[in-house]
Amino acid sequence: MNGYRVVFPEKGKVDIEKFKIPELKENEILVKTVNTLISSGTEIAILRGAPNTKKQFPVFPGYLNAGEIIKKGKNVKSLKIGDRVVSYGIHASHVIVPVESSFNIPQNLSSEDAVFSLLASISLQGIRKSNIELGSKIAIIGQGLIGLLATRFARMNGAFPVIAVDISDLRLKTALSSGADYSINVSKDNLQEKIRTLISDKYADIVIVAVETSSAILEASKIVKDMGKIILLGSPRDEESKINFYSDIHYRGISIIGAHARNTLPHNSFHGCWTRQDDINLIIKLLCNKKLIVKDLISHRFDYSDIIKVYNALTLNQEKYLGVIVKW
């Protein structure tokens, strides 16, 4: 049996290739993909061979997949043929994934909405590590999908005000509908001056950095209060830093906390640090109960046959895109 998958055969190049689907292992499932979601920040960084990516090609991109089980290994008992699941499968017509890293999609949840649960679990890392309290003053730099989802979770956790920061009016408009109280377009306004007018004591308690440039960390240090927190939710891709760690961080007692998706517990969630499984199961429940809305985060839908054009467009101007759904 053959399938089709997206491949980056070399730096800057995208293609679709035919592949033979391998045999299942005992604890695996074969999923016929319905749709995938492009994680544009990560995937474009890999395509460009950006710093802090592996730069080893070929690469089979994608990790946000929703589809239907068409075959399962003999030890898989918790799921059955015909069940819909989300998984960390690549952009492909068919994926084989371990049953323990797939999550059942309830009947009342669409595959398009469900595929956001995996991405939302990344945003939730930043919120859990922020330890937000009712009334925490928070700024979120970067309003791509990760930042927009963080904005929604910050509001759900009682932050006030929630200030969205970006260079795109489209993303900032979406942020305001996501629960942000204020927005700042840093291509038009000075971030520090604007923060001073929006927060009574002039500084944010917490700044979440959801972009991939280290310069944003420096900007965060200028708007966070002494003894405040900077949460690194985006993965810095540049290798140059202009931060003076003595005057900007150390002297002021600021905490910088990494919130990479890999830093979750394998077992037994506790306050501030849940397992990935518990986070995703919670998000699926929130989606089912309309406590978390993601449909408005979808800006484009494409057939997989158009994938080369999609990546070319994202490479040229990511700011025009939010959630990009690939239909298989």
Write the pLDDT tens digit of every residue in 55-67.
899 999 999 999 9
Q: Which two tokens stand for residue 231?
A: 């949460």
- DSSP secondary structure, 228-295, as one string: EEEEE-S----------IIIIIITTT-EEEE--TT--BSS--BTTB-BHHHHHHHHHHHHHTTSS--G
What average pLDDT does the structure give for the chain? 93
Instruction: Give residue-wise pLDDT tens across range 116-172.
Output: 999 999 999 999 999 999 999 999 999 999 999 999 999 999 999 999 999 999 999
CB 113 within 8 A of CB 294: yes
Q: CA–CA separation, 231 vs 257, rounded Å?
A: 5
Instruction: Give residue-wise pLDDT tens across range 197-240.
Output: 999 999 999 999 999 888 899 999 999 999 999 999 987 777 66
- C-alpha torsion sign, points 45, 48, 52, 56: positive
Q: CA–CA separation, 41 vs 164, rounded Å?
A: 18
Cβ atoms < 10 Å from Cβ of 109: 19
Would you give the DSSP letter of residue 200?
A: T
User: Which H or E run includes 227?
Assistant: strand 224-232
Domains belonging to the chain, first-starting first, are 2-118+275-327 (3.90.180.10), 132-258 (3.40.50.720)
pLDDT-derived band at 250 (thresholds 50, 70, 90) equals: confident
Q: CA–CA separation, 32 vs 12, rounded Å?
A: 28
Q: What is the pLDDT of residue 213?
A: 83
Give CA 127 to chain center in angstroms. Answer: 13
Amino acid (1-letter code) at residue 295? K
Phi and psi, residue 268, nearest 5°? 60, 85
Q: CA–CA separation, 111 vs 194, rounded Å?
A: 40
Q: What is the pTM of this model?
A: 0.92
Question: Is the model more confident about 51 or about 187?
Answer: 187
CB 17 within 8 A of CB 7: yes
Question: Is the model more confident about 157 or about 269?
Answer: 157
* Short-list 204, 196, 256, CA closest to 230: 256
CA atoms within 13 A on the CB side of 238: 10
Residues contacting 260, CB < 8 A, separation 6+: 125, 232, 235
User: Which H or E run includes 299?
Assistant: strand 298-303
Residues contacting 73, CB < 8 A, separation 6+: 24, 25, 26, 27, 28, 29, 99
154-191 b/e (C-beta count within 10 Å ≥ 16 → b): bbebebebbbbbbebeebbebbeebbbbbbbbeeeeeb
